[in-house]
Amino acid sequence: MKTKNIEVVVAPGEPHYVGDGFRVHNFIPSRRYLDMQRTTPFILLDYNSKFNFPPSDKPRGVGVHPHRGFETVTIAYKGKIAHHDSTGSSGVIGEGDVQWMTAASGVLHKEFHEENFSKAGGDFQMVQLWVNLPAKDKMSKPKYQAITHNQINKFNLPDNGGVIEVIAGQYYNVNGVASTFTPVHLLNARLNKNTKADFSFPSNYNTALLVIEGSIKVNATETVPVNNFALFKNDGEAFNISAIEKSIVLVLSGEPINEPIAAQGPFVMNTRAELALAIDDYTMGMFGYLED
């Protein structure tokens, strides 16, 4: 099996705020190599690296906003988020939990620091990933998958090496609980110091990783420090990561959706005409109602 090698390692840029509750480094789409077509089906990755928010009686976050044409995946590492959408779904995303929201034909959404977390303050660390939908599914019915940490299937690495949490796709004989529209693998590798994990994905799949905690070597040669993002070439199938120190690594790999992308703000469609329709539908109230 041929080795899959790193194409580029991207250090985090200056953070910016989404609303007043998410202090993020944007990796996709940004900079050279990381446009939506290069990383499809992953079309946005915002990373709130570990940041301590002081106590606040008014929860920080993002008010009501629309989405159409894709899925949002929120992965919580530290802190808690309360969310609501116009389909009536709501809940709290706690540490280790995942929220997989299929916006598809359109939803309104809001998300804030959970009330008790906000009042206490503390470390906050999250990933939000946008996964594109193929044209045939963009106008399907919205749905929501609430995945708690104890529902995530896990593969225990040998010799107390750590654990691979399988959010979506597969790792060896362990399947992820999230349902996806196209083949997507999404894994949290929690590795102990001086341990190694092997991965294999089809060579045409767009594959990347984000170091959440610690630091790693890829294929025993290239170091990827904490908060850095690595994009792989489409030149092979197999690679390994070894933990220089105790580490958490988000690994993502997906089959490309080879269709045109027309994106504007919270809408990702295939044509400019579909974007214009999405904006019209939103302004006409066709995404439902959600109170601020």
pLDDT 10s digits, 193-229: 999 999 999 999 999 999 999 999 999 999 999 999 9
> Residue 258: its pLDDT value, please?
96
Per-residue pLDDT, averaged over 63-78, amounts to 96
Tell me the CATH class for 6-254.
mainly beta
| 275 neighbors 39 (Cβ within 8 angstroms) | no
pLDDT 10s digits, 118-162: 999 999 999 999 999 999 999 999 999 999 999 999 999 999 999
> Residue 223: its pLDDT value, please?
98
Residue 289, pLDDT > 80, answer no
Higher pLDDT, 183 or 289: 183
Averaged pLDDT of the chain: 95
> Residue 33: its pLDDT value, please?
58
Q: Model's pTM, two decimal places? A: 0.96
> Residue 31: its pLDDT value, please?
65
Confidence of residue 292 (pLDDT cuts 50, 70, 90): confident
pLDDT 10s digits, 238-269: 999 999 999 999 999 999 999 999 999 999 99
Token representation of residue 78: 């530290």
| 226 neighbors 211 (Cβ within 8 angstroms) | yes
Confidence of residue 278 (pLDDT cuts 50, 70, 90): very high
Confidence of residue 35 (pLDDT cuts 50, 70, 90): confident
DSSP string, 30-93: BTTTBSHHHHTTEEEEEEEEEEEEPP-SS--EEEEEEEBSEEEEEEEEES-EEEEETTS-EEEE
